[in-house]
């Protein structure tokens, strides 16, 4: 009889211990699942926050660049009266190998044109002595005139007219002016064929100015 009771007690103890072990294992499993879910939630929250603030910064940068774009348009749009019937026509193509730049040039400056490509707003033809002035936007990337400030003296700029004739310009100056300074447009040698490229410096609202002289062969 005692042997039977002892056996039953042992069996009950084993079952009890097994239940405790199973309960512990189950608790550990639940904890691991909860911990993993918590980590995933934290990572997702952090990732979303980073993306949200990055998007806001980009929108703010785009907004500031558009303001700079608009300011260029307002400043230079009345420098020289253009034939508005030709405002969407092309003056030619600009190529700057050093900064991998290659864009068509609109014949006149409008706010919408400036968002699409560089625009000529002053000067006559490539065959005449004048100062061809071209404005382009700065998006702080590889687009439009964002990298013209990297040009150095003696770098080459190519302008192609609508007949495909290539004109070579050699950079002579690289400097900045205040946003309302129009001197780069009007200060030039009237006996030479010069080129002036203009874009915003988004860090201080100044203007980057690149001056170049047409190369004669």
Q: Where are the domains of the chain?
A: 76-214
173-201 confidence digits (pLDDT tens): 999 999 889 999 999 999 999 999 999 98
Mean pLDDT for all residues in the chain: 79
Neighbours of 206 (CB within 10 A): 15
| Residue 211 backbone phi and psi in degrees, to 5 | -105, 140
* pLDDT value at residue 136: 92
51-104 confidence digits (pLDDT tens): 655 554 554 454 445 445 556 665 676 666 544 445 568 899 999 999 999 999
Pairing of strands 166-177, 156-160: antiparallel
* pLDDT value at residue 43: 80
Q: Which CATH code is given to the segment(s) 76-214?
A: 2.40.260.10
Close Cβ partners of 92 (under 8 Å, ≥ 6 residues apart): 104, 105, 126, 159, 160, 161, 162
- What is the distance between the alpha carbons of residues 106 and 86, in angstroms, rounded to a whole number? 9
* pLDDT value at residue 122: 93
Q: Nearest 10 degrees: CA dihedral of 182, 188, 190, 193? A: -110
Scanning the chain, the segments in alpha helix (DSSP H) are 2-76, 111-116, 183-186
- What is the distance between the alpha carbons of residues 96 and 199, in angstroms, rounded to a whole number? 15
Highest mean pLDDT among 2-6, 33-37, 131-135: 131-135
DSSP bridge partners of 206? 201
Mean pLDDT for the stretch of residues 119-128: 93
- Residue 187: burial class (beta carbons within 10 Å; 0-12, 13-18, 19+): exposed
Mean pLDDT for the stretch of residues 125-154: 92
């Amino acid at each position: 009889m005692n042997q039977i009771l002892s056996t039953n007690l042992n069996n009950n103890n084993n079952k009890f211990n097994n239940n405790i072990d199973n309960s512990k294992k189950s608790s550990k499993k639940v904890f691991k699942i909860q911990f993993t879910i918590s980590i995933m939630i934290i990572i997702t929250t952090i990732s979303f926050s980073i993306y949200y603030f990055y998007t806001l910064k980009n929108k703010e940068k785009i907004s500031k660049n558009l303001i700079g774009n608009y300011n260029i348009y307002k400043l230079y749009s009345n420098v020289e009266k253009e034939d508005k019937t030709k405002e969407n026509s092309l003056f030619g193509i600009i190529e700057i190998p050093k900064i991998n730049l290659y864009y068509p040039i609109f014949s006149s400056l409008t706010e919408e044109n400036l968002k699409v490509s560089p625009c000529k707003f002053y000067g006559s033809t490539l065959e005449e002595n004048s100062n061809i002035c071209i404005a382009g936007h700065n998006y702080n990337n590889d687009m439009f005139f964002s990298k013209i400030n990297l040009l150095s003296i003696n770098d080459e700029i190519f302008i192609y007219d609508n007949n495909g004739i290539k004109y070579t310009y050699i950079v002579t100056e690289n400097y900045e002016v205040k946003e309302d300074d129009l001197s780069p447009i009007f200060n030039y040698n009237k006996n030479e064929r010069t080129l002036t490229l203009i874009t915003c410096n988004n860090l201080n609202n100044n203007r980057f100015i690149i001056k170049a002289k047409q190369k004669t062969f």
